[in-house]
Structure 1
Amino acid sequence: MKEIITLILEDILLPPCGSLILLSIAYFIRNRFKRISKICFASGILSIYLISTPFFSIVISTPLMRAPSIENNIHLISAEAIVVLGAGTRSSAPEYFGNDTIDGHALDRLRYGAFLNRKSGLPLLLTGGFTGSTTSEAEAMNHTLEDEFNLKARWLEKKSINTKENAAFTKEILFNENITQIILVTNSYHMRRAILEFEAVGFEVIPGPTHPRIGGALNLLSFIPSGRSLHLFKSYAHEWLGIAWHYVNK
């Protein structure tokens, strides 16, 4: 319930919903408070424009994606395990004959975790609990790992529902095995917050980001609003809020 309330508040406060609230305020006070109405209207329009542009997506996501990729020297890395973070499940997927499965981000992470496992021989831990499905994220990932990659995780962490709990419950498993050095696999934009949470509980983290940022030059299209940029903004803004919340509760 707490997670649901947090997501609702996040959606209300952040654009585009927050921008629409500003525009609504501007409309209803336009006769009595003209100056404030103009400020609210301009702020609403400007915020909707900014969050819809690729340029703004680059600005707010670049600091999130600074973790370097693991290059072709994994045999030199002193990690003891690979930890793959869950990213949601799809319940009763019809194309999989009604079985639960993992979503796209989770598949990206799992595929990279399998790749690193084959290259390094390090054991896999999959972490993720029940988020609206009858199958935990960890179990769904392990089913995919077995069926499609012919691999099996050594450990499944099935209780966590957020990144903070991913770290805490993974610690309970791996510290009992005297494992403190890990390769952490998650999306590049999520890596900064994930590292904060895992280091906070005592892990030494080697980042294993998926889809790392590859530099590109700005052009005219960078300033033209797009639906993709609007979609990406929510993911990036969610990460910044999570980072801020981590420090507030530190």
Structure 2
Amino acid sequence: MDLLEHLLYPLYQTAILAAAGLVLLCRRRYRSATALLVLGACWLWLCATPAMAMRLREALERHYPPRDAATYAKSDAIVILGGGALLPSGSDRDADDADSLATRIGFGLQLFRDSRADVVLLSGSDQAQRMTQRLLQEGVPASALQTEWASTNTHENAVFSAAMLKRAKRLHILLVTSGFHMARAAAAFAKQGLDVVPAPAYDPDYPYWQAHPWWPRRSALHVSGHCLREFGALWWYRLRGWA
């Protein structure tokens, strides 16, 4: 999967096209070489445009529109997957930094404060422990927190978290992760026999752009690459029977 992940990033794809073009150029196959070099340059430019990045992101997120925490029905547990930004110290429901409260951990905190569930499970390697500490600092009681820190990917998030939730007979969950990641995560958790309600959160690492949609930006290239990786990962999970 690591090799596949690298091949899904536009920079690597462009490098492969450029290398193939140079090989053809050395063999004096000028038309084919020019076609590959131009294709690589155009693909890199396209993926670096906000228009392309937004289209890819919207394709992943369109089934998971954001909602206010209070609109969700009560559940057995709130599951927050690691990744994204942590809350700054001293956040509360009246904080001016709305983006921070909308991140994965921030939105999970809002769901808990709105009594959508009385247990929060944090999943995802060492970041789960850092998230646990942040929620403790925000006043969430230790008795309401569970931490799963053994997982290193979304499949393991689902397998290890489901085992903990099933032991506690908490099968109906609110799953909190970024909108672009929700399709794969929700499918992976449902595959483990859980009743999953997607609760997508905002990810500040995946911005929206208001102007010049066809002007290349490094941030847009970053988003395009991660979205292409997510499409590839979703396909891989379905192929493996993980989603």
What is the CA–CA distance in structure 1 between the aligned matches of 2:130 and 2:39, rounded to whole Å? 43
Find 1:79's aligned residue among 75, 79, 103: 75
CA 1:106/1:230 → structure 2, altered by over 3 Å: closer, same or farther?
farther
Query: How many residues are matched?
Result: 221
* Gap regions ≥5 residues in structure 1: 1-5, 91-95, 97-103, 130-135
Residue 174 of structure 1 and its aligned partner are, at CA, apart by 0.5
One-letter identity of the residue aligned with 1:51: C
Alignment of 1:27-66 (within 5 A): 27-32=22-27, 33-66=29-62
Contact kept? 1:70, 1:207, Cα under 8 Å: no
Partner residue, 1:222:
213
One-letter identity of the residue aligned with 1:207: P
* Gap regions ≥5 residues in structure 2: 90-98
Higher relative contact order (CA 8 A, sep 6+): 2
What is the CA–CA distance in structure 2 between the aligned matches of 1:248 and 1:105, rounded to whole Å? 35
TM-score by length of 2: 0.81
Residue 13 of structure 1 and its aligned partner are, at CA, apart by 5.0
Partner residue, 1:150:
139
Contact kept? 2:70, 2:116, Cα under 8 Å: no
CA 1:167/1:105 → structure 2, altered by over 3 Å: closer, same or farther?
farther
Partner residue, 2:115:
120
What is the CA–CA distance in structure 2 between the aligned matches of 1:14 and 1:82, rounded to whole Å? 32
What's the RMSD between the two structures over aligned residues?
2.8
1:69 aligns with 2:66: yes
Residue 217 of structure 1 and its aligned partner are, at CA, apart by 10
Contact kept? 2:46, 2:52, Cα under 8 Å: yes
What is the CA–CA distance in structure 2 between the aligned matches of 1:12 and 1:239, rounded to whole Å? 12
TM-score by length of 1: 0.79
* Residues 214-240 of structure 1: CA deviation (Å, up to 9, x unaligned): xx9986x11111111011112211211
Segments of 4+ in structure 1 off by > 4 A? Answer: 104-107, 216-219
Partner residue, 2:197:
206
